[in-house]
Structures are given as C-alpha cells and as structure tokens.
C-alpha cells in the first residue's frame, strides 16, 4: 500500500452561513483524503454544498459564511491555523483555483498578459520579461493558439472556452501542488467542454497534477477523477473509486443523479428527474436527509445512524441503511 501521507486531508469539516434567520450548515462534517497526483471529483445538485466545500478549502468563504470546525491538512500544514498573510502564500502558489464563469474571472480592464505577469511577479519574484515568457509558455501548454497575441487581449475579446483555458494557464503557471476547479465546464458549450476535458487529462499526465473537480457534469468526472464523492445536503453520501460509484451506485441519490443525465447512446426517452428538492439546511435533521425524496425509504431511515457513511466494499462508502452487506437491494 501507499505509505506516503496524503497531499490533502480533510476531516470532519463543517462550514456554515450565519444569517439573521439562523445557521445554514452547508458543509456538515465532510472528510476525505487526496493523494499526490490523484483527482477527486465531487458531484451533487445545486445547494448540496460542493462549492461551499471548495471555498472552505481556501478559506474564501465570505461573510456570513465561515468554517466552523474540522481539520484541513495540506502538505503537512494545518491550513486552519494560517493567518491572512500566510494564506496569501498558499492561495495561487500552492493551491490554485479556477471558477465557473471564465470570462468574468479576469479583470475586464487589464489584459490577460498583465494579469498573468502580475501573479507571476508577486508569487515567484520574476522580472516582467521572464514573467511574460513564462505566461506565454503556460498558455501554449494549455493548448492556446498564438499565445503572444492572446496575452495582449482582454477577457471579453475571447470566447468562453479560451478564457477558461487562459484561467487554467494562469493557475498552472504558478506550479500549484493542487488545483481546485469549481464547475470548470458549466458555462462552456459541448465542444469547448470536450476540449477542456482533454486539456485536464493532458495536464494530469504531464504535470502529475492533483485536482479536486466540483461539477454536476458526471461525464467529465468519470473521465478525469480516480475517486468520486457524492454530496447531498452538506454531507458525503457516497464515496469510492469513480468506476464503482458511477458504474454501480449504491446510494439512491447517486442513482437518481445518474439517471437524470441525458444519454446520447440510447433511444430518446423522458429523463426520470428526481422529485422534490434538497432539504433546508437551517434546521437539525434527524435520520437520512434524502429519505423524503427516496422511494425506498423505510422505518429504519429515521434513525440518526441512517445517514452515516459505512463501508460496503473495501474502498467504497455509502450513507444508506439499505446498502449494508448486500450487493443489490433496490
């Protein structure tokens, strides 16, 4: 087995939004490990807490949001003990992040070159000339045609796909050990999405890049991630190797999520959408949080342990009472 300590180790992380109307526990006790050179995919519908989780990892939650408890160990450091100045050295330099809307993640007033150079000059102390050179190489690496010209343009002069590639290039030019990608393909068209997945794949191979990809694009997760976590109502409901989680899902929520992905290879048919919506997170919920929407819900689901992760296979955990012991319960 691998004896190397994980690159990132999150244990019992809790983040909430403290509003006047109560506390919303958006991330409620999440734990996972990420190994060097591996990619974790986090899937779940809107409001399941995936983005809050990503922002928590970089301490980017804005008021009234805040990390409440838990531990985030990254490369041997306890990130939760850092002050603002130490955080600035981690953000970008050690953990990079790219966002959902690539066009708006660049300052509309500065050229891409200015913004990339600035990041390189502050983080790596490069001169303007060598920063420019490095920025150009970074853009070329993520498959950008004519990087020299691109560096002179503004974000709104580029297409969404090119902006996302530039954002990736900017993030990778700082050689981060870990890259967080929050819905990196959500605003891209099908072709740009394919392209982006290809670039991610190449970067994994070339740079041995560790990534956390947050998405509801199950197809992309399937292609890129070694492990997949499924989140629902602030908790992980299923975690395991991507092939198992997406291939033979054990949690009813994962099944529902997969069932509502449109398929091109099957006869056109109505997509079986899940009924209902995630529960409000400002109240204590006992028992399984998915039970109200679950067609297999039974009397055991109201117990508090019902929503605990439990191993079903060596490396595959599921938070459902029906997954215990047997292979096929549904």
**Which residues lie closer than 8 Å to 33 by C-beta, 6 or more apart?**
6, 8, 9, 10
**Which residues lie closer than 8 Å to 311 by C-beta, 6 or more apart?**
317
> Per CB under 8 A, does 223 bind another protein?
no
Instruction: Give CA–CA dist 78/275, Å, rounded.
Output: 41
* Least distance in angstroms from the C-beta of 137 to another protein: 18
> Per CB under 8 A, does 160 bind another protein?
yes
Q: How many CB atoms are closer than 10 A to CB 190?
A: 8
> Per CB under 8 A, does 118 bind another protein?
yes
**How many of the chain's residues bind another protein (CB under 8 A)?**
46
* Least distance in angstroms from the C-beta of 174 to another protein: 8
- Looking at the Cβ atoms of 167 and 230, the one nearer to another protein is 167
**Which residues lie closer than 8 Å to 155 by C-beta, 6 or more apart?**
102, 103, 104, 105, 106, 107, 108, 112, 163, 166
> Per CB under 8 A, does 149 bind another protein?
yes
Site string for another protein, 166-185 (x = CB under 8 A): -x--xx--x-----------
Instruction: Give CA–CA dist 70/89, Å, rounded.
Output: 22
49: left (phi over 0), alpha (psi -120 to 50) or beta: left
Taken as a whole, the chain contains a residue count of 330
Of positions 67, 151, 162, 274, contacts another protein by CB under 8 A? 162
Reduced to 3 states (helix: H, G, I; strand: E, B; else coil), residue 120 is: helix
> Per CB under 8 A, does 20 bind another protein?
no
Q: How many CB atoms are closer than 10 A to CB 279?
A: 17
> Per CB under 8 A, does 261 bind another protein?
no
Of positions 22, 60, 283, 302, contacts another protein by CB under 8 A? 60
> Per CB under 8 A, does 19 bind another protein?
no
* Least distance in angstroms from the C-beta of 274 to another protein: 29
Q: Which residues are near another protein by CB under 8 A? A: 58, 60, 62-63, 87-93, 96-101, 103-110, 118-119, 122-123, 145-146, 149-150, 153-160, 162, 167, 170-171, 174
């Amino acid at each position: 087995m691998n004896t190397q300590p994980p690159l990132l180790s999150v244990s019992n992380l809790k983040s909430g939004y403290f509003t006047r109307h109560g506390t919303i526990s958006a991330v409620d006790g999440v734990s996972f490990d990420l190994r060097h050179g591996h990619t974790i995919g986090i899937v779940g519908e809107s409001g399941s807490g995936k983005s809050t989780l990503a922002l928590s990892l970089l301490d980017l939650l804005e008021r009234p949001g805040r990390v409440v408890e838990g531990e985030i160990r990254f490369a041997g450091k306890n990130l939760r003990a850092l002050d603002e100045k130490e955080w600035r050295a981690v953000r970008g330099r050690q953990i990079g992040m790219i966002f959902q809307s690539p066009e708006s993640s660049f300052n509309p007033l500065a050229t891409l070159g200015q913004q990339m150079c600035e990041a390189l000059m502050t983080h790596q102390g490069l001169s303007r000339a060598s920063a420019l050179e490095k920025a150009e190489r970074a853009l070329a690496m993520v498959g950008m045609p004519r990087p020299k010209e691109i560096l002179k343009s503004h974000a709104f002069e580029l297409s969404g796909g090119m902006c996302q590639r530039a954002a990736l290039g900017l993030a990778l030019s700082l050689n981060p050990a870990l890259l967080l990608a929050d819905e990196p393909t959500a605003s891209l068209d099908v072709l740009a999405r394919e392209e982006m997945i290809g670039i991610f794949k190449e970067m994994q191979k070339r740079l041995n890049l560790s990534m956390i990809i947050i998405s509801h694009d199950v197809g992309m997760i399937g292609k890129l991630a070694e492990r997949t976590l499924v989140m629902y109502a602030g908790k992980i409901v299923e975690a395991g190797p991507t092939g198992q989680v997406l291939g033979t899902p054990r949690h009813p929520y994962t099944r529902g999520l997969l069932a509502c992905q449109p398929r091109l290879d099957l006869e056109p048919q109505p997509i079986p959408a899940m009924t209902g919506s995630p529960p409000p997170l400002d109240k204590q919920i006992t028992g399984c949080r998915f039970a109200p929407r679950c067609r297999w819900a039974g009397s055991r689901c109201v117990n508090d342990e019902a929503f605990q992760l439990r191993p079903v296979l060596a490396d595959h955990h599921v938070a459902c009472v029906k997954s215990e012991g047997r292979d096929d319960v549904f």
